[in-house]
Every structure is written in structure tokens, then in C-alpha cells.
Structure 1
């Protein structure tokens, strides 16, 4: 146990909140939010219900304050409430599982790139062995996730062992036994993470074992890989030099609370939930009713509550009942907060940046040609990205959650039946090289990711559109190519603070080639960003292969990704890739070769834990000529399209 324990809220603040001091109560909720979020987020591994459970926990904390006899025990009491809410949610979910449709289940599972291990890595910028510890948490048994959420905070100095044991309802001795058992599983998982993500050629036997694996960490696959590791000299050697987890976690900060749980949002819900309604139903009665059907009501009701824009709503004066006294907040302040949180998004403006021209790059694993190879025609056609003025954006009607295990995405441009083709493809996400959908309707099971294409796209209007389009932001399309965004490293660095200010999980500029080359465009950009203290959350890459033999092409792509990861140690998004040879004009493989590569490459990409997403180039295909596209219209899939549909 480390000795850097961080103190909880001051007893004076707790007493003031209990006595009915409104500002003190608001301050207490804000102070408790990061701790509660980190416990719930790690226990549920970033599941879609995290926000609901966090808010319900804080509501119960507010209502229970009058019964708290000893303010010095506040934090232990709060942690115990949090664990109870996690368990209540798990019990409710287990009861609902048999009654839920497959579609509803898919909507409530978090995007794997947004699970709590991934958020920890992205937001804390963990170094190599700390990153491996975070990734190892994905492999734990469900029963150990709850314990992990508390033990992690114990080792980072947020909790004491007595608080951990008390929250679980265990004696110190029993808690110690459970912690040791969980830590053993974590050490095994660290070995698995290191073996699967090792630089250089992977152990051949391990590769055979991993061949049928879908890339999703699970206790079953942990046991299978661990059996191999115990008897393999090659894999065992990779585990040498692992530092104790306690040493690696010591002093780490909490993972930052996301925008969806901004203190103002949580406080607004606390205020509204504790305000008597016009019908005389108290906030406490409302909450209890919701608790009877799970945390805050049924999943469908909660999703509808979050999705429906509420405009023009009159907010009554807040009346929080605490310790028998009423605290009346200023009506104007409550109305201002509620209006800020409930107003729907403004109508999207027209695109502010010119759409990109088609991409052509050489294989990242082969030497580049002496001069840039010719580009495909920029005239609009189904097989290339159109240069026509984009159509007005058509937004999806509701936020979407991506099914577990799905990394696959696709680049999309407009053609006849594009929305129907996108839905049929099974892609979990897509982008249009723009901050808007470009007339594409987002399928229910997919999400849209915006891009700031080049220097001309860095406008207040485009950044506002990006902020409204989800948690991620892609940046600067092939700045190292004159035919694309054509930016110098210095120009990109000058504009980067504006992209950071959007508050999104931000990807690096997507270079066309040479991402792992020392002194290359991306290398100089990353060095400059580091020197200036700029944030880059993940690396964005493009890759096109000119070797049409499937095993060789897959290995060349894997080698390139490995080199890039070894250089920057950040998650990778592969946002354009296919088999196209640009070394002498533009040459495509046969339809069968393209499909075979797509199947093999997606299996490989799903096995790399540091590859968080990939996008095939692209959705549209011209039926009259060779291409790498997936659909010639809304229903007709190419051979590659059928392979893409089958990819998990």
C-alpha cells in the first residue's frame, strides 16, 4: 500500500451541505464526481450505463446526507453507496437481459475504443508498462472488475484498504485474499497483452492459437493464451522486466470526467430531481419510482430522456430538501444551467472546407517512387471521392452506441444509394473527410466521425460542427501530399491549439506515407507537439499495398503498424487502406484478391489491441471499372463488399 493518500472533502464542507448551504452542496457534488466516475467507469468498463449510475449515486448521496452521523466517514460511506449502485445496475441488467432484443443490447454496449481502459490510456498518456496494465484490465472476469475499480484507486492513493474492504462488506483479511487473487489474474493478463502486442515476429504457435480469436479480450481467451505462455520459452522471455503494478500505478491521477458528466450537467439533474413537480410529486418520489425499474428507470426511457432535445422548458426555483430545511436557489441561475444543458443542437451550417480530392499513396512498407505517382481523376464518380459541393447534412435522429468488438469503418462519399449501402455494409463508424455527413443518413448501428480536412477548414463554423458530432475528431488529410491538404509541419502546429480547444479525442494528422520514418512529416509534427505540450490522443494512418499476394500484403501492413506504434506508443486509427498499386499509374488487384486481403487484414487488425479503429477505402465502387469499393449502389455489394459484411 502506498503512502500518498489524498484526503476527501473537508468536514466543514460536508457539515455546511448537511445544514442546507446550497453552494456547499454544489461544491460537494463537484468534488465527489471524479471519484465516483472512476469507480463506476472501471467497474462497468465504460459501459453505456456509466453516466446513469454515476448520477444516481450522487443523487442518493445528496438524499442520504442527513443520515450521515460522522462527517469524517463521508468518503467510506460514499464509496459504499457507489458499489451498491454498481451492483444494483448489474442485477437490473441481468434481469433485463432475457427480455431485451439483440438490437437494444447492441445499442447499450460501449464502443471498445471508449472502454475505460482505452480512456485511461488516452487521457493519462500512459507510458509503456502502465499502458499494458490498463489494457490488462480488459481481460478480467466480471466479478473482478468491481474489485479492480477499488484496488486501482487504493494503489493510486485515492482510497485506503479499510475503505475498500468496507465498500465490499468484507473483513480486511478477506479483502486482502480477494485482492491477491485479482492481482494474479492481472499479472497473467499483462503477460498476454505483452505477448500479443510484442514488436517483431510473433511466436508462431501463439499466432495459430490466436487465429480464430475475434480480437475481443475475455477471460476465456486469457486462459487459452496463458496456457501457451506458461510453456513457451519465446513468450515467457517477453515478460521479463515487468515492474510491480503497485509501483506503476503509484501517484497516477484520476481519469478526467467526460463532458457528458460535466459538473453543471450533474448539478442540473440533482436540482431538478429534488424539486417538487407541479403535481406535487417530490423529486425523491420520482427517483424511487425510477429505481424500481433500474437505475433511473428502464434503459429505453433513459435513452429517450438523454436523446430528446428539450427547449423552452420553464425551470422552477430549486428546492433541495436537506436535513429538514429548504435551500432555494436563484431562479435565473437554475434556468441558465438548465437551458444550457437541455437546448437542442443548432442546425448545421454549410460545409466550410473544400472536399478532398481522391487519394493515391504508395505502399507504406515499400520504398516510395522517385516522384509522386499520378492521382486518379478528380471528376465525380462512384469510385472516387467527389469534388462537387457537398449536399446539406442529414443527421441521425439519435446518438448511437457501437456494438462490442466492432472496429471496422469505411470512408464514404456520395453516390446513388449511399445511405442504404452504408447500412448494409455493417460498418460501425464512417467519415466523409468533412465535419458534416455530406447527405449521408447515419445507420442506427453506426456513428459518424468528423474531420477537419485542411488549413481552410479550421474555422469557428467547422469546429462547432465537429463539437456537435461525437467524441472524436480526425485532423488534416495527408498534409504531406501536395495534392491533398498540403500543409507544412509549422502550419499544422500553429493551428493545432484550435483543434484541441474543440475538446474531442483528437487524432494526429493522417499522413499518406512514412509515419514511422525518423525525421518524416509525422515524426517532426509529433516532436513539435511534444515540445509545445500539445495533446495528440491517437495516431491516424493511411496505407495502400502494391503487393497483391494476401499473406505478404497483410504482413507488410502489420509491420508498418508495429513500427508506428513502437515509435509513438499511442493508439492507432487506420483511416484509409486497401490494395492499390500507384507505383506505375493506378493498378488494382482482381476482385478475389481484394476480397481475400480484406478478410485476412480485418482479422489481423482485430488482433492488435493498439489498433482502435480502421476504415476501408471506400464504400462506393464503379461497376464499369476496377476499384477497391464495397458497393456499386445501395444493394449490390462487390466481392470486397461481401467480405467486409462478413468481417466481425
Structure 2
């Protein structure tokens, strides 16, 4: 293994901190934080409790430091404390799980975006075989997850074998046996990942996977491995496999999320200041839902304000096919410090699959339909059979203002996202928007470079997008996959419930955390499109991991609009009891033509609504519609070019 400098404090810092030097103690906590976060995050697979466990681990470390006899054994001691805290939290969660009420369960919903396999892929831009190793970790037995968190750090040079064994309370020999057994599971899992992602695939493996729900598990690893061992088609999957040690050595630790800002953790753990009130909460989760306790009222509001509306054209043509350059993989969703050191260049990369073709957006256009419609509609670029087009990229100079707007301090939130299409300066606008994630209504992001501060989430837009190439592209972009876009709209993906259910198993087999089709209206309506889809999925045993929906408000009074949005979301959650993503929202009145609020009203709504959305425990993400704005006409957009913000854009930047 390549020997690299390990992170963490030296013996001198430990001794000074143990002797009571406050500055050394602060340095000790700050230097230990990345190591503890990487162990806890991987062991808990990104559960919402990660921040709490990290903070409690460091608190116990500080309290126990005066009793540490051998400063040279500090790392082994710290890792042992970390693993003990992970196990304690698992026991507490298991005990409390049975007592949770249904709404309280929202507090325990893990945010799959923090899955460390997905984060490793996203943040470090892994080559194909390194990506397969990261994906393979999801298939391990539960008993091996703690060992995985330590072994991964051993392979990357952060831990020694003696530290690993000490942390688990095992002898060196027993620890080696455990590691070898897990590595065998990992090798099998790599073949499973490779086989499921092969194009063209094995028909026999596809048949075996016909009843698989798309969620990696030890049981399905064994079933797939049984097929692979006896299949002549799958016999070549192990060709050119690079040893895992060579693939992983030299990888840096994952950067900390903003929720674990070292200054804030230091304040809470060492008492060097007043601990922030939100430290220990995860992504803004709290026990207060902020929603209405009257489901009937919520359902009514959720429907009435969305009726009889028309919407500007905004989505790309999915049928134009182009060759795509190798995608630029995104950085951390909420990284405090960008990962500057990527995979060591001198290591031998694995064989990569050929670059797939993809369906990309056509040059967008902006227009509004003139014909009245009870639901939103869009202008088509050519004939009624073509796919819808999207908001025009502003290419002209922005209108002049009397004076430049005051600089805005950009804030970030793990929930805050934006819908993006290609326009002049889109990449720069995205990087400075404060969005932690974005999507393009497609499986790629042509013309948009993912900044270190954001992640890209792919979408399978409609029936024509369910192709091997599109699904392969989706698999390359992190843990999430968004389902069909507004299938309840004739002007959008326009799918029947039966058609969507027939295609859904192919989306599940992508192995991603899968969002429901994003309906335009009526997500809370009994017997509505989404309700029938969810009932059909449950009857067939299909997996839907979270609910995706859209909302546009025609009441431009800020308190009323925020209340209507919150009530609608609460009603949807009460119906399905699943995490929710709000992937399009803004103030636009479609009841009589298309009417926008004043810039000040739109900005005020962004400020108030984001605070409410961040407080809802079941609302995992939201995306404003959208990043681009036409400077010549009213819109809900945030940027007219790469640097010029609208009033809404400045409010969005400041929202957190």
C-alpha cells in the first residue's frame, strides 16, 4: 500500500491537551473531527444521527483525555470510543423505533444523500473500478458495516491494522480473519455491481433480478453471486479487476458537511463559546413539523390554489441525441472544505465502460400557451408529437439598473436546490447561487459544470427516456434517481398510471434511491394520479423511496402562500408517510393567463418559504424553479446571466 501522511494530531498535541492547554485541546478536537466523521458516517450509512454521534464521541474524548495513559495510543483509543458510540446509538435506535408515532418517524428518516458510498463517488470523482468498489460496500452484511468503516480507512492509509483490531476489541489474528471474510464479500459484490451495470447485460441475470426491488442487500448478493458463478455469459466479469488495495490507497478523507463546522463543534464540545442551537440537528430536522393539524383543510388548500393554471415552457426536448463528453462529477453537497486532492494519478485505473450516448436538451425556448387549460401546459418546439422545450437562456445584456445591488452573503442548506437549464453563465450562476443540489430534467447536465458546492441528481423524464443508456448514465451520478416528470400532464411526460407501473421495475434495477413520479397537481388527492400509482406500486411490491411533487402558488401574499405550501406538503406526507422532495416551486398564478408577482413579493416568498421548508422533518429537499431568468420579461428565475441576480436570486442566495 502507498504510505501517505495520516490525518490527525501528533503526540505532542495530545500531551499538551491532556495537560490542560486550551489551544491544544481546540486543535485536537478540530484535527480529530474528519477521522471521526468518516468512521461514523460510513458505519451509520449517512443516517440523520451522524452529527449527534460525532459530537458525542468528541465530547467523550475530551472528558476521558485526562485518564489516557499513553498519548501514543491516542488514535486507537479514539477509534475505539467512536465504534462504541456507533453501537450504542444503534441499540438506542432499535429500542426507540417501536415507540415512534408515525409523524415522529419522520425525524428518523435517513437522508440517503449522505450514504458514504454515494458521497465517495460524488466527491472524489472515482474511476470506473473505484466506483464499483464504492457501490459494492452497499451489499455487505450488517455485521460488517462497522468493520467496513475501519477497513476503508485502513486501505486509504488513515488507520493501522493494530488500531483497527483495538477498536473492535479483537486480537490481531481474529481481526485479520474478519477482514479477509469481508474482503471476499466485497469481491463478490464487485462482480454483482459489474454484472448489473453491464451493457449489454446477461439475460439470465436479468431474469434473476426480475423480482428484485433494486435495493442492495446481502440476500440478493448471494442470489446474484450464485447465478454469476455458474453462468458462461457472466464468466468474464472478473477480467482486469484491479486489487482493491491499489484502488483505494491514496484517497483522502471526505470533507466535513457544514453541519459539522469545526468552530461550531468546538464551541459545543470544549465550551469555548455558546453552542449554536441547531448543532446536533441534521439538515434542519426538528420535531416541529410546522404543518397544519387539519388534514381536510390541508388537502383542500393543496388543491384549490393549483387549479386552472397555465405554465411557461421550461423543459428540454428529450429526443435529440448527442455524444456526451465524460461527465464532471460533482463535489460534496454541503462541503465545508472542497476536496483538493483527487485520486492519486500514478495508480492504475480500472477498465472503464464505453461512454454511453445520452438524450440531451434541445436549445430551449420561452413561450406561454395562449389556449386556456385547467392544468399547466407548454409550447412545443415543432409539432404536437415533439417533446416540450424549456425556458430560454438569456443571451442579451441585462437591463440597466440605477445602481448595483448590495453584495449578498451566500448561504447554503443541504435541502436547497434549483432546476437548471443551459444558458450563458449557467455554471457560474449555479456555483454562486447557494444551491446544494440541482437537476436538469435529464440524466446529464450538458453545458453546466457541477461546482464543488453542489451535486447533480439525474431524472428519467418519461417513457422514451427508459433506455439502457439513460439508466447507465443515472447510475454514474450518485445515490438518487428522480422518476417521471409530470406524467399527469398531457404537455409533459403524459403517461398513464399503468404505463408508469409497467416501466417502474427498470428504474428500480438502477439500484438508486428512487423518487416517485413528480405530479403537477393533486398529490394528496384520493384516487388521483399519484395515489393510484402508489397503490399499484404497493400491490406489486415495487419500491418508491420518497415522494416527488411540484407546487405553484397564485396567492402572492407571503404568509398565505407559505401556509398553503406547508399545508399541501403536510397533507401529502399524512397520506403516504414517506420523505418528500419538492422539485419545482415558485409563485406563478395560472388562473387567468400567466401572472407573476412583483420582484419584491417573489423575494419575500423565497425568504419565508425556505425557512419553513428547512423546518419540516419529512421534507428532505426542495428546488426553486429555476436558475435562469429572462431579463426582458417577468419570471421566477434567479440569474439573468452568470453574475447578475434578480431580487429572487439574492433572496435565494441568502436563504439557509
> Shorter-chain TM-score category?
0.5 to 0.7
Cα contact 2:481–2:513 (8 A) shared by 1:
yes
Q: Counterpart of 1:605 in 2: which secondary structure?
A: helix
1:616 maps to 517
Q: Deviations 1:94-131 (Å, cap 9, x if unpaired)?
A: 33334344554454131333312112212222221111
Q: 1:156 to 1:210 in 2, by over 3 A?
A: same
2:533 maps to 643
Q: Counterpart of 1:53 in 2: which secondary structure?
A: helix
Q: What is the deviation of 1:227?
A: 1.2
Q: What is the deviation of 1:18?
A: 1.7
Distance in 1 separating the partners of 2:459 and 2:284: 37
2:53 maps to 53
Q: What is the deviation of 1:305?
A: 11
1:507 paired with 2:438, answer yes
Distance in 1 separating the partners of 2:366 and 2:79: 62
Distance in 1 separating the partners of 2:468 and 2:529: 26
Q: 1:30 to 1:185 in 2, by over 3 A?
A: same
Cα contact 1:357–1:378 (8 A) shared by 2:
no
Q: Deviations 1:117-165 (Å, cap 9, x if unpaired)?
A: 1122122222211111111111111110000111110010000011111
Matched pairs, number: 461
1:262 maps to 261
1:384 paired with 2:342, answer no
Q: 1:48 to 1:305 in 2, by over 3 A?
A: closer
Cα contact 1:358–1:377 (8 A) shared by 2:
no
1:28 maps to 28
Q: 1:160 to 1:141 in 2, by over 3 A?
A: same
Q: 1:167 to 1:368 in 2, by over 3 A?
A: closer
1:559 maps to 468
Q: What is the deviation of 1:379?
A: 7.1
Q: 1:541 to 1:367 in 2, by over 3 A?
A: closer
Q: What is the deviation of 1:59?
A: 0.1
User: TM-score w.r.t. structure 1 length?
Assistant: 0.62
Q: 1:356 to 1:15 in 2, by over 3 A?
A: farther
1:538 maps to 456
Cα contact 2:456–2:477 (8 A) shared by 1:
no
1:316 maps to none
Distance in 1 separating the partners of 2:179 and 2:145: 11
Cα contact 2:458–2:474 (8 A) shared by 1:
no
1:603 paired with 2:559, answer no
Q: Deviations 1:183-238 (Å, cap 9, x if unpaired)?
A: 0111111111111122x233222222222222111111111111111111222323
1:253 maps to 252
Distance in 1 separating the partners of 2:143 and 2:394: 47
Q: 1:175 to 1:454 in 2, by over 3 A?
A: farther
Q: What is the deviation of 1:249?
A: 0.4
Distance in 2 separating the partners of 1:640 and 1:59: 46
Q: 1:377 to 1:305 in 2, by over 3 A?
A: closer
Distance in 2 separating the partners of 1:471 and 1:595: 29
Q: 1:543 to 1:464 in 2, by over 3 A?
A: farther
**Which deviates further from its counterpart, 459-468 or 64-73?**
459-468
Q: Counterpart of 1:253 in 2: which secondary structure?
A: coil
1:497 paired with 2:442, answer no
Q: Deviations 1:596-634 (Å, cap 9, x if unpaired)?
A: 22113332212203x5555635332xxxxxxxxxx3x85
Q: Counterpart of 1:377 in 2: which secondary structure?
A: coil
Cα contact 1:538–1:573 (8 A) shared by 2:
no
Q: 1:53 to 1:511 in 2, by over 3 A?
A: closer
Distance in 1 separating the partners of 2:25 and 2:369: 63
| Candidates 462, 467, 471, aligned match of 2:412 | 467
Distance in 2 separating the partners of 1:369 and 1:506: 19
Q: 1:385 to 1:221 in 2, by over 3 A?
A: same
Q: Deviations 1:55-109 (Å, cap 9, x if unpaired)?
A: 1000000001100122111111111111111111122223333434455445413
2:207 maps to 208
Cα contact 1:358–1:376 (8 A) shared by 2:
no
2:72 maps to 72
User: TM-score w.r.t. structure 2 length?
Assistant: 0.61
Q: What is the deviation of 1:30?
A: 0.7
1:189 paired with 2:208, answer no
Distance in 1 separating the partners of 2:314 and 2:13: 60
Q: Deviations 1:456-503 (Å, cap 9, x if unpaired)?
A: 9xx9999979834x34523424x3xxxxxxx24xx223434314xx2x
1:476 maps to 420
Distance in 1 separating the partners of 2:190 and 2:282: 36
Distance in 1 separating the partners of 2:136 and 2:364: 43
Distance in 1 separating the partners of 2:7 and 2:493: 63
1:406 maps to none
2:334 maps to none
Structure 2: gaps spanning 5 or more residues: 289-309, 322-357, 380-389, 399-403, 538-543, 545-656
Q: 1:305 to 1:4 in 2, by over 3 A?
A: closer
| Candidates 283, 294, 313, aligned match of 1:357 | 313
Q: What is the deviation of 1:371?
A: 10
Distance in 1 separating the partners of 2:406 and 2:534: 35
Q: 1:112 to 1:209 in 2, by over 3 A?
A: farther
